[in-house]
Amino acid sequence: MQTLKVSFSLDLFLKLLGRTSANSSSSGPAHGLPDLYEATVTEVQDGLDANRFSSAYIARTKEVNLKGPTLRAVLEINSLALEQAVKLDKERGSKGKRGPLHGIPLLLKDSISTDNSNGNTTAGSFALKDSIPRKDAGVVTKLRDAGAIILGRKANLSEFGQFRSHKLNGGWSALGGQGTNAYYPNGDTCGSSSGSAVAVSIGLCALVLGTDTTGSITFHASRNNIVGIKPTVGLTSRAGDTVEPLTCTVTDAAILLSAIAGKDPDDSMTSSQPVPLPAYIDALNLGALADKRIGAPRKIFIDSDTHPFILVAFEKSLRVMEEMGATIVDPADLPSADDLIKNGWTDEELTCLVDFNIDLYRYLTKLKESPSGVRTLSDIIKFIQDHPDLEQPKGFVQSNNTSGYNAHIFEVLERKSRLSEEQGIDAALSKYNLDALVAPHSTFQAAASANAGYPMIQDDGPIFYPAPGTPFGISFFASAWSEYQLLELSYAYEQKTQTRIKKSVYAEAVPSTQL
């Protein structure tokens, strides 16, 4: 039909005006096009190739962000999205597409630096509103080069990545307000990549980049029924923040990881990555669990107050893996589990407080412009105290009181590494001859992977609390640079269980705008 050939840029323009095109439906997708609630990158790309895909994402955001369920997932819409779409549309017609992300709309967490033309980088704080970073984060440059559209001028988050204070609610920022979960009214999103996870869980964009220090990607993926990859430290650039994919499917996660992985002269850690990097999209293997040895490190999640319902559901997930040909080694405890439970989280928190103070100073001093005048953590604390009408006057004191790296901090860093790597994950993999470890997501499991700088993939499902019905997933994790193998396992399990499509968000949280 001729009416299918509506250009991407024109339809985006109509959506920006708050109208719908001739192809749009308020009740569901038209003409066999994918429902944006579940649309994958490949489906979106096929629509763009056919000159029939319209971007309804902005209209969907307006429906549920500050109206209706007020999920408060997105801080700003990029006013240049239309301009970017038009240019990429023309390029597609004249030169062909650059790759699988050409014309794909995505969101960035508001701690990932972008130049001011693409919106604020505020970490959710009025103290950084209208500040201008010196340049895009390394991964943002890679995404632009791949042809992606920065659809939203940042996703909401726990202010300053939850470093304000643990007493503040997860998912709250002064600029964005309190974000909520789409699976239960006013439900907890987890902090700090809250808006990123909620946005992708209900199809406000095709892809999201979040950030992770200790569990901020994998906790959110678990709580929002999506896929999250925390890569090995050094696989993606940390210049402008450490970033990881949040997506609806393992396939999309592999596509996005391929786009952002690689070396960056602004991050020396990326020089340690293997060369060449694998094509992660090739890891999508339905039979990947066959003949694999998968370990269940019971102690690190049983001793972290894991809900009994989760343990029952986890048993069922292990049986599914056995049906798929895997050998389950249970238990396969980390030799350092007791010490990790005793010291892992406190060690991680202490070193994070030190790192935050140092890294924030480096970032603030390099800003091109800072209208509020903040250049140090002390400046931010004073701004918060001076503006109680804008910012809740709490937090940052612990981090501000740190004095940088000293003998005690170096001792803690050494212990973190030893307990999590050679006496932890690596030791368990070797002792039980394992291909990977699997567990329901828990605090100590996240701390072990974070302390080691090792990868972890949070799969969508298989678990839902019986009430109020919020998701809780499982994580596959292993040693450094094992992303390819973890993607294989996650994909095979995802395709077998199809958990995500078995549980939808509550009705009011589902945007009605379609293609």
14 pLDDT band, cuts 50/70/90, is very low
Q: Which of 8-12, 148-152, 157-161, 211-215 has the lowest mean pLDDT?
A: 8-12
Query: Is residue 106 within 8 Å of residue 143, measured between CB atoms?
Result: yes
Q: What is the pLDDT of residue 386?
A: 93
pTM: 0.91
Query: Is residue 38 within 8 Å of residue 22, measured between CB atoms?
Result: no
1 pLDDT band, cuts 50/70/90, is very low
By three-state DSSP, how is residue 421 classified? helix
Q: Above 60 in pLDDT, residue 320?
A: yes
Q: Set out the domains of the chain in order of their start, with CATH numbers.
A: 33-282+504-509 (3.90.1300.10)
pLDDT digits over 78-101, tens only? 888 878 888 898 899 999 999 999
Which secondary-structure segment (H or E) carries 144? helix 138-145
Q: What is the pLDDT of residue 118?
A: 60
Most confident range, picked from 150-154, 306-310, 506-510: 506-510
Distances (CA, A) of 498 to 39, 284, 471: 15, 15, 14
Query: In sequence order, what DSSP letters do the residues of 339-353 get, joined into one string?
Result: HIIIIIHHHHHHHHH
Q: Which of 80-94, 178-192, 464-478 has the lowest mean pLDDT?
A: 464-478
> Which tokens is 286 given?
């339905």
Distances (CA, A) of 16 to 12, 30, 41, 208: 6, 19, 21, 20
* Mean pLDDT along residues 445-474: 80
User: How far apart are alpha carbons 40 and 221 in whole angstroms?
Assistant: 16
By three-state DSSP, how is residue 256 classified? helix
Nearest by Cα to 348 from 82, 124, 114, 163: 163
Q: Above 60 in pLDDT, residue 365?
A: yes
Catalytic residues: 109, 192, 216
272 pLDDT band, cuts 50/70/90, is very high
Mean confidence (pLDDT) of the chain:
86
Angle, to 10 degrees, between the axis of helix 483-497 and the axis of helix 308-323? 100
Rg, Å, the chain Cα set: 22
**HSE-CB for 404 with a 13 A CA cutoff:** 3
464 pLDDT band, cuts 50/70/90, is low
* Mean pLDDT along residues 124-138: 93
Which secondary-structure segment (H or E) carries 327? strand 327-329
- Paired sense of beta strands 327-329 and 243-247, if any: unpaired
11 pLDDT band, cuts 50/70/90, is very low
- Taking the CA atoms of residue 445, residue 451, residue 453 and residue 456 in that order, the dihedral angle to the nearest 10 degrees is 10
How far is C-alpha 458 from the geometric centre of its chain's CA atoms? 10
User: How far apart are alpha carbons 188 and 220 in whole angstroms?
Assistant: 10
User: How far apart are alpha carbons 2 and 51 in whole angstroms?
Assistant: 11
For a pLDDT cut of 90, what percent of the chain falls above it? 55
pLDDT digits over 24-70, tens only? 334 456 556 788 898 999 988 887 765 554 457 888 899 999 999 99
User: How far apart are alpha carbons 380 and 372 in whole angstroms?
Assistant: 9
By three-state DSSP, how is residue 397 classified? helix
Q: What is the pLDDT of residue 462?
A: 61
- Residue carrying the six token digits 């192809």: 23
Nearest by Cα to 157 from 221, 85, 109: 109
482 pLDDT band, cuts 50/70/90, is very high
Choose between 362 and 442: higher pLDDT: 362
How far is C-alpha 186 from the geometric centre of its chain's CA atoms? 21
414 pLDDT band, cuts 50/70/90, is very high
